[in-house]
Structure 1
Amino acid sequence: MYHKVAEDIIQAILTNKYTDKLPTEKELVAQYHVSRNTIRKALDVVFAHGLLRRVRGSGYYVIKKPLQSQKILNLSIGFDENSMVSGGPLRSKVLKFDTITADKDLALRGNVAVNSRVYRVVRLRYLQGQLYSLEESYFPRNVVPFLTEESVQTSIFSFLRDAYQMTGSTSENYVHASKISEQQADLLKRQQGDQILCLDGINYLASGKVFNFSRTYFVYDNLALYYHTQNIDI
């Protein structure tokens, strides 16, 4: 339950419903009709995703980004990074939805076994009508037994949580520049061989199993990447 509350608060922040300070815990309890413990767990999630600052004795404040003129992709958000982008939600055009066998290169990229069967979902994503990214996602069939046509049109992560109570525990993200192929260039309206900002991600369950890995090519103008860290005394 707290995941849904956290997701709703995140969307409220990203759509500027909350721009300075969040309501008090008491007010959020009344708003969502849940326990104070549920609200506190939800706020912990939102805080961990880099959207809030705790002020002792005062409450939770929305972190204001310095690059207000740019669209920001928050790499700290672990539900469905691309649907949680500022200014979203993203809209999808599904290009491929099928099952394939992972070759050596794909298996290495996703930390899965060679020849394992994976769902493949290839989508163009749009933000406010403008082409945002090309996303290639993979879901191991031995972990994710079933995806629906409807889920790949919207939020696959939300479907997995609702259908299988499957939520990510840890993620690995690697940002790099990648040359695009002729086919990718045609889809992204760029030139073959262009260097494109690219994000490789792997998402793990608490058991350590990979349930999703992806590669996303970004073409949206003035895109900024943001991530949140906490200082840890060593």
Structure 2
Amino acid sequence: MLKYQQIANEIEQYINEQQLKQGDKLPVLEQMMNQYAVSKSTITKALELLERKGVIFQLRGSGIFVRRHNRPGYMSLFSTQGFKSNLGDRVLTSDVIDVSVMKPDALVAENLGIGVSDDVYRVERVRYVDGEVLCHEESYYVKAIVPYLNREIVADSIFDYVQSALGVTIGFSDMYLQVDRLTEGEAGHLGLQENDPTLRIETIFHLTNGKPFDYSRITYHYAHSQFVIQANGPYM
């Protein structure tokens, strides 16, 4: 994890721990530079990251302020840090169905920018928030980048593991959204009926150097999935 990302995480953790509210003012940039003993450019990049995530907003000449949505239970849709960092006090658990090494099919290989002879970890799990089914997830990780996964790791947060244990720095993601109906198999995992509505999201996660390392297909439980999108500036 790069220094500015670490600082951004610490600032966000401080906001959560102190239960700061919308409009609460944070220390000025110079104070943060002294507190974290880093340059102005590092703090600026950390604040820009938090602003893109919808955690803060900045007013020139006035300061840095907390930005929070006020509807409990809503998750930020556009996050590159996984579910766990996105749920606040809510409890995330997983039912691991599969963790295995395999050769990707043509679609998976194309999305990961690898060959069909390369190895990937396939992870399948059902995820729960506060005991309610949230989604069914099927993910593929490039084994050359994520060389080891097991059920214990997968039952918790894979992104925490790859960043802290492997030193992998997650950069950005591309998301493809589709409103559809559940297949029989998907409905079984989610405790719903075939042809019930669902939101499907395909996401390709990249390292900071632009290399894809994770391709995920997530199918959400329509009754338990609530999202917020925090935009910066007006839509044109």
- Give TM-score scaled by structure 1 length: 0.81
Q: Give the AA of the match of 2:58.
A: R
Shift of the alpha carbon at 1:137? 1.5
- Give TM-score scaled by structure 2 length: 0.81
In 1, distance between residues paired with 2:202 and 2:55? Answer: 22
In 2, distance between residues paired with 1:128 and 1:105? Answer: 34
Q: Tell me the equivalent position of 1:182.
A: 184
Q: Residues 54 and 173 from structure 1, CA distance in 2 versus in 1: closer, same or farther, beyond 3 angstroms?
A: same
Q: Residues 228 and 117 from structure 1, CA distance in 2 versus in 1: closer, same or farther, beyond 3 angstroms?
A: farther
Deviation sequence 1:58-113 (CA, Å, 0-9, x none):
22222243xx4463232332222x22334435222222111121112333454443
Q: Tell me the equivalent position of 1:3.
A: 5
Deviation sequence 1:120-173 (CA, Å, 0-9, x none):
111222222222111211101122222344331222112112223211222101
RMSD, aligned CA: 2.8
In 2, distance between residues paired with 1:13 and 1:90? Answer: 20
Q: Tell me the equivalent position of 2:26.
A: 23
Q: Tell me the equivalent position of 1:61.
A: 65
Q: Residues 162 and 119 from structure 1, CA distance in 2 versus in 1: closer, same or farther, beyond 3 angstroms?
A: same
Identity %: 27
Q: Tell me the equivalent position of 1:136.
A: 138
Match of 2:96 among 94, 97, 102: 94
Aligned residues: 227
Match of 1:77 among 79, 95, 98: 79
In 2, distance between residues paired with 1:136 and 1:108? Answer: 16
Q: Give the AA of the match of 1:118.
A: V
In 2, distance between residues paired with 1:151 and 1:16? Answer: 29
Unmatched runs of 5 consecutive residues or more in structure 1: none
